[in-house]
Chain A
Amino acid sequence: MDKAIVYKVSYVVEGGKHPGAIINMDTEPKVGDIVKFDGRTFEITEVDELMPPAGDFGFLHATCRFLG
């Protein structure tokens, strides 16, 4: 059985006017995924590694755009 990875994700919103969010995810976020925080809906436009993985944790940075 594959080891379950927890993805700690830094979500940053395009434009720099929203502070973004840090959220743990059970699945790796992908471009085009929809994510909700601050009561709002965003679409992921880019995903990069923020820090090297360690143990059962991956550390990602996702850029998103505001949908509504």
Chain B
Amino acid sequence: MADWALMKKVQLFAGLSQPELALLAEICSEKEVPADTLIIEQNTIGTEMYIIAQGSVEVFIKGFKEKSILVFLGQGQVFGEMALLNQGYRSASVRGTDEGCKLYLLEYRKFTDLVNANQNIGFVVMRNLAGDLAFKLRHQNLAQL
């Protein structure tokens, strides 16, 4: 179960009530990741989203020739979030950085069951998910200047 006080600081869950946050925290599991561990591999099937509770990760893609780092994500950020929309192939790989990290995992199936029972949670999270993706897109555009 996740620490709901920390979940209050995750933009994906902004606008949810305390009882709604507690419901989400109940279906999250915790995972400690040692330094430099591959968490997600590009082009594999993904069924869970990750929330960074402590530490940081690097997000990267591998082309034909070389690895390209897209962004570093710190506490309170999410990755693998497209698994909440579908269960398709991961678009990038994610690795824990030198300090290691603590993550909360949110499984697609558990999330779907929860939002089917409480559609306000589904509406708020999906609205915030669009905002998170917009933020990442704006960051990506600016980082390339």
B134 near A10: Cβ-Cβ < 8 Å: no
Interface of B is mostly: mixed
Chain B residues within an 8 Å CB radius of A6 = 9, 11, 76
A13, chain B: closest CB distance, angstroms: 8
B145 on the interface (CB 8 Å rule)? yes
Chain A residue total in the interface (Cβ 8 A) = 24
B76 near A20: Cβ-Cβ < 8 Å: no
Q: Which of B11, B56, B69, B139 contacts A10 (CB 8 A)?
A: B139
B74 near A23: Cβ-Cβ < 8 Å: yes
Chain B residues within an 8 Å CB radius of A61 = 138-139, 142
**Nearest A residue to B72 by beta-carbon distance?**
A21
B72 near A50: Cβ-Cβ < 8 Å: no
Chain A residues within an 8 Å CB radius of B135 = 8, 10, 22, 50-51, 59
A51 near B134: Cβ-Cβ < 8 Å: yes
Q: Which of B71, B72, B76, B136 contacts A24 (CB 8 A)?
A: B76
A20 to B142, CA, bound (A): 9
Q: Which 9 A-B pairs have the closest CB atoms?
A: A24-B76, A23-B74, A21-B72, A10-B139, A20-B143, A19-B69, A12-B143, A12-B142, A55-B14
Taking Cβ atoms with an 8 Å cutoff, the residues of A that contact B are: 6, 8, 10, 12-13, 16, 18-24, 37-39, 50-51, 54-57, 59, 61
Show 24 A/B contacts (Cβ-Cβ < 8 Å), sorted by A: A6-B76, A8-B135, A10-B138, A16-B143, A19-B72, A19-B143, A20-B71, A20-B142, A22-B71, A22-B72, A22-B73, A23-B74, A23-B77, A24-B74, A24-B75, A24-B76, A24-B77, A50-B139, A51-B134, A51-B135, A54-B131, A56-B8, A57-B11, A61-B138
